């Protein structure tokens, strides 16, 4: 009641914005707390490096005898640490160093290489570009395949006999239900030279020495196959839900006009599902850009690394490299933003026009 | 007979009871450590102490949580069970306390060799030793008429003969999984060639040299006889290959030999013939191409004095002769009085007597290990030269060391 009185007084547009504000406030606060502030903290971390460590020569003794060694002089650095607990300010130094954007190394390589091929090979020797090379390939191969495969499964399940649909949906969703790490491990064992897929491949290729895990191109393909296998159910379930809302009358009209099955899909179903496709593409671009689990479970890091894997690797060593991991994290966020920018810009324009 | 058994059981219960009573602690204890049988035994021993709460969190991810868990005040963990590589991270962050006063008051009976001392400060108490040594199939070596290899060169010769005899296509094993394992194998091989990792006394890395190239070339030569998937094989996977009868010779951790030689997971022909040998040498050197490791316990800095005393007493009890019985005896090469070595531990003892170097306890060794693990695979895959792989490693390390403040 009160709301409606307000509508009359303020006009539609303002009410929309005001109630919108109160609606989103709780989630906006949660986002500030759990997303925005952590990102700020990561950015701050990435701009700092650790204090200069004062190293002292000492004698260290263990079970196996004494020898000359070094250690950090804690007293000497204690005052520095207390004064600046974040470490020393480094600006963008970490972003530009060899383990990240490697601006200096890229410049030298550019000057010293004569062909694009050579330049590319040299670039892939730098950890960041090696990671981004695989990350982008994975993203742009897996995303469209997930959309296509998901759509095909959804159309197939939708046209199956009603009694069969339940079990079909269940089996189609299985890859998504399985924990990613476990799903990847299952595939990892299957492609082993003595596993069912690995042995079949050897047989088909006529090469008893063929091993998926030993070859970089095959490993890349296997990671992408896993990516599609794991994410296709997501696209499937979204499309399947969308298919239930296709206007039956429009389909009927198309059929009367003599459209065959393919033409119905092409001119009625696909245009109807286009907004869903945008949604799936957005989610998949983000997810695939952060590809991580398959690399760990396939033990593929000799052949393929990704930005997320690089962050994990920085934090998982005996000496944690927080600044390095923070810089890679920020670069990942920038990467996601660039990938999504075309869609985001369009959404913003649509909003503005209204 | 029956009565005697009961009497014996009773006597054991009494001695066990006195062992419980022997450990009284004035505070609480919280343990973080790796997850394998020997560590479980230690944590269980510590938990026998009465007078305070003894908690433990044993996980393979202990290194990811122990620093953070000891940085708070008061610290979440009052002790971390660590090895010579991982104690460095705790010392770098200054989260563990020197134990000199506690040892003086409560630990006079701990043998001096077990005290890990850095610059006169006791930073940890070691309780077990570990090393990688040769594991081989006795029956196969007899079949081809070859003596047990003492050097990696002899391993290559034996491997060629085994392959030629059609016994196994890939007779050599090794934990060559890209990452920590691969780096560890390089460390072994480089030490075996007499290499030094750093310009002494500094964090300036120096591995791109003759020894480094020789170490990498030997590793590459070995991989010719390994399952082509070697870059995905960690110690578990390569151990399974040996149990499956495919691998005849490999460099393996002393702490894992028990698994290879027990009846589980392999045919009798295989497990009864797996034998532990001495660590191998390489390139005519006399220092084994292996490193010695110890596991030990520490005491956190940011805890009350009562908890520190409690932790010290509980961990001392957890690594005392009281924990040794038939079941625990073979779990590790215990540095505990009353320990009787089994054949499975021959390798580690051989490594100790052969003058194997211990894994360097340097503040920046962990960064080099990470850099090695990330950069050597390209060479083994044939994508770049040994010199290039070593140069990449040095560059990656130097960059990381600058970010961590070890280099300017």
Q: What is the CATH number of the domain that holds B189?
A: 3.40.190.10
Which residue range forms the structural domain that includes residue B397?
131-291+349-403
Q: What is the pLDDT of residues A136-157, one digit of tens each?
A: 999 999 999 999 999 999 999 9
- Give the nearest partner residue to A98 out of B229, B388, B395, using CB atoms: B395
**Do residues B275 and B139 both lie within one domain?**
yes
Smallest CA–CA distance, residue A281 to chain B, in Å, is: 32
Q: What is the pLDDT of residues B143-186, one digit of tens each?
A: 999 999 999 999 999 999 999 999 999 999 999 999 999 999 99
The answer as to whether B64 is a domain residue is: yes
The answer to whether B196 touches B226, Cβ cutoff 8 Å, is no
The answer as to whether B408 is a domain residue is: no
Domain boundaries, chain A: 126-353
**B121-137/B115-118 β-pairing:** antiparallel
Contact call for A60 and B200, based on CB within 8 A: no
**Do residues B164 and B40 both lie within one domain?**
no
The answer as to whether B221 is a domain residue is: yes
pLDDT, residue A13, reads 59
Nearest to A298 by CA among A144, A138, A171, A101: A138
Contact call for A301 and B178, based on CB within 8 A: yes
**Do residues B157 and B223 both lie within one domain?**
yes
**Do residues B31 and B139 both lie within one domain?**
no
User: What is the residue-level pLDDT of chain B in tens, covering all 408 positions?
Assistant: 444 444 444 444 434 434 444 789 999 999 999 988 899 999 999 999 999 999 999 988 888 889 999 999 999 999 999 999 899 999 988 999 999 999 999 999 898 889 999 989 999 999 999 999 999 999 999 999 999 999 999 999 999 999 999 999 999 999 999 999 999 999 999 999 999 999 988 999 999 999 999 999 999 999 999 999 999 999 889 999 999 999 999 999 988 888 898 888 889 999 999 999 999 999 999 999 999 999 999 999 999 999 999 999 999 999 999 999 888 888 889 988 889 888 888 899 999 999 999 999 999 999 999 999 999 999 999 999 999 999 999 999 999 999 999 998
Q: Is B91 on the interface with A (CB under 8 A)?
A: yes
Interface of A with B in 109-138 (CB under 8 A): 125, 127
pLDDT, residue B243, reads 94
pLDDT, residue B7, reads 43
Tell whether pTM > 0.80.
Answer: yes
- Give the nearest partner residue to A60 out of B118, B365, B402, using CB atoms: B118
The answer as to whether B32 is a domain residue is: yes
Contact call for A193 and B114, based on CB within 8 A: no
Fold of A126-353: MetI-like fold (1.10.3720)
Return the biggest CA–CA distance within chain A.
92
pLDDT, residue A317, reads 81
The answer to whether A100 touches A324, Cβ cutoff 8 Å, is yes
Smallest CA–CA distance, residue A28 to chain B, in Å, is: 30
Smallest CA–CA distance, residue B184 to chain A, in Å, is: 13
Query: Residue B205 contacts by C-beta under 8 Å, 6 or more apart in sequence?
Result: B197, B198, B368, B393, B394, B397, B398, B401
- Crossing angle, helix A307-316 and helix A127-158, to 10 degrees? 120
**Do residues B334 and B390 both lie within one domain?**
no
Smallest CA–CA distance, residue A140 to chain B, in Å, is: 25
**Do residues B265 and B371 both lie within one domain?**
yes
pLDDT, residue B341, reads 86
Q: Per the structure block, which two tokens stand in for B141? A: 């070596």
Phi, then psi, of B77 in degrees rounded to 5 = -110, 130
ipTM over 0.85: yes
User: Which has more pLDDT, A207 or A148?
Assistant: A148
pLDDT, residue A354, reads 58
Contact call for A214 and B228, based on CB within 8 A: yes
Confidence class for position A1, pLDDT limits 50, 70, 90: very low
The answer to whether A252 touches A264, Cβ cutoff 8 Å, is no
Choose from B404, B406, B407, B408 for mutation: most chain A CBs within 10 A: B404
Choose from A126, A301, A318 for mutation: most chain B CBs within 10 A: A318
The answer as to whether B184 is a domain residue is: yes
């Amino acid at each position: 009641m009160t709301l409606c009185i307000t509508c009359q007084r303020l006009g539609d547009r303002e009410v929309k914005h005001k109630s919108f504000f109160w609606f989103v406030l709780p989630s906006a606060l949660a986002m500030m707390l759990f997303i925005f502030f952590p990102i700020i903290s990561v950015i701050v971390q990435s701009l700092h490096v650790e204090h200069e460590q004062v190293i002292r020569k000492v004698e260290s003794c263990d079970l196996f005898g004494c020898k000359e060694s070094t250690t950090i002089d804690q007293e000497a650095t204690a005052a520095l640490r207390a004064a600046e607990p974040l470490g020393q300010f480094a600006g963008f130094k970490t972003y530009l160093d060899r383990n990240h954007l490697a601006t200096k190394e890229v410049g030298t390589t550019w000057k010293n290489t004569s062909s694009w091929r050579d330049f590319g090979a040299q670039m892939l020797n730098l950890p960041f570009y090696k990671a981004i090379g695989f990350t982008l390939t994975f993203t742009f191969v897996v995303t469209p395949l997930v959309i296509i495969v998901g759509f095909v499964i959804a159309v197939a399940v939708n046209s199956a006999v009603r009694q069969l649909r339940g079990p079909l949906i269940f089996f189609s969703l299985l890859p998504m239900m399985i924990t990613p790490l476990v799903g990847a491990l299952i595939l990892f064992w299957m492609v082993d030279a003595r596993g069912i897929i690995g042995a079949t491949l050897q047989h088909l290729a006529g090469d008893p020495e063929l091993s998926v895990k030993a070859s970089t191109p095959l490993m890349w393909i296997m990671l992408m196959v896993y990516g599609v296998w794991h994410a296709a159910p997501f696209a499937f379930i979204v499309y399947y839900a969308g298919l239930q809302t296709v206007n039956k009358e429009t389909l009927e009209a198309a059929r009367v006009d003599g459209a065959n099955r393919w033409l119905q899909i092409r001119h009625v179903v696909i245009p109807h599902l286009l907004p869903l496709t945008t949604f799936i593409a957005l989610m998949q671009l983000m997810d695939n850009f952060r590809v991580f689990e398959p690399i760990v479970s396939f033990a593929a890091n000799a052949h393929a690394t990704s930005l997320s894997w690089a962050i994990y690797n920085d934090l998982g060593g005996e000496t944690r490299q927080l600044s390095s991991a923070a810089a890679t994290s920020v670069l990942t966020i920038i990467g996601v933003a660039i990938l999504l920018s075309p869609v985001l810009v369009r959404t913003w324009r649509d909003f503005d026009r209204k | 007979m029956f009565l005697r058994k009961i009497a014996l059981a009773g006597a054991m219960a009494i001695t066990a009871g006195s062992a419980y009573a022997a450990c009284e602690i004035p505070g609480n204890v919280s343990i973080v450590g790796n997850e394998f049988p020997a560590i479980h035994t230690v944590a269980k021993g510590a938990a026998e102490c009465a007078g305070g709460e003894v908690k433990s969190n044993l996980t393979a991810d202990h290194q990811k949580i122990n620093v953070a868990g000891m940085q708070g005040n008061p610290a979440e963990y009052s002790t971390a069970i660590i090895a010579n590589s991982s104690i460095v991270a705790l010392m770098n962050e200054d989260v563990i306390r020197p134990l000199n006063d506690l040892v003086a008051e409560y630990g006079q009976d701990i043998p001096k060799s077990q005290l890990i001392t850095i610059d006169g400060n006791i930073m940890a108490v070691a309780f077990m030793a570990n090393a990688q040594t040769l594991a081989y199939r006795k029956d196969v070596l007899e079949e081809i008429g070859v003596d047990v290899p003492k050097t990696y060169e002899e391993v290559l010769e034996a491997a060629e003969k085994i392959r030629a005899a059609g016994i196994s296509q890939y007779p050599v094993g090794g934990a060559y999984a890209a990452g920590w394992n691969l780096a560890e194998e390089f460390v072994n091989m480089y030490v075996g060639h007499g290499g030094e990792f750093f310009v002494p006394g500094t964090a300036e890395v120096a591995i791109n040299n003759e020894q480094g190239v020789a170490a990498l070339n030997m590793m590459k030569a070995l991989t010719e006889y390994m399952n082509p998937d070697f870059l995905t094989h960690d110690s578990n996977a390569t151990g399974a290959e040996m149990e499956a009868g495919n691998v005849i010779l490999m460099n393996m951790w002393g702490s894992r030999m028990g698994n290879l030689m027990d009846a589980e997971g392999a045919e009798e022909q295989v497990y009864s013939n797996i034998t532990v040998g001495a660590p191998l040498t390489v390139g005519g050197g006399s220092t084994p191409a292996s490193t010695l490791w110890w596991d030990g316990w520490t005491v956190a800095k940011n805890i009350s004095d009562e908890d520190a005393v409690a932790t010290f007493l509980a961990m001392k009890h957890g690594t005392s002769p009281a924990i040794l019985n038939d079941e625990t005896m073979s779990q590790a090469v215990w540095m505990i009085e009353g320990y009787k070595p089994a054949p499975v531990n021959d390798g580690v003892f051989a490594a100790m007597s052969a003058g194997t170097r211990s894994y360097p306890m340097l503040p920046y060794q962990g960064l080099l290990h990470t850099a090695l693990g990330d950069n050597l695979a390209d060479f083994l895959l044939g994508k770049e030269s040994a010199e290039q792989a070593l140069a990449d490693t040095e560059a990656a390390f130097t960059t990381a060391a600058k970010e961590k403040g070890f280099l300017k």
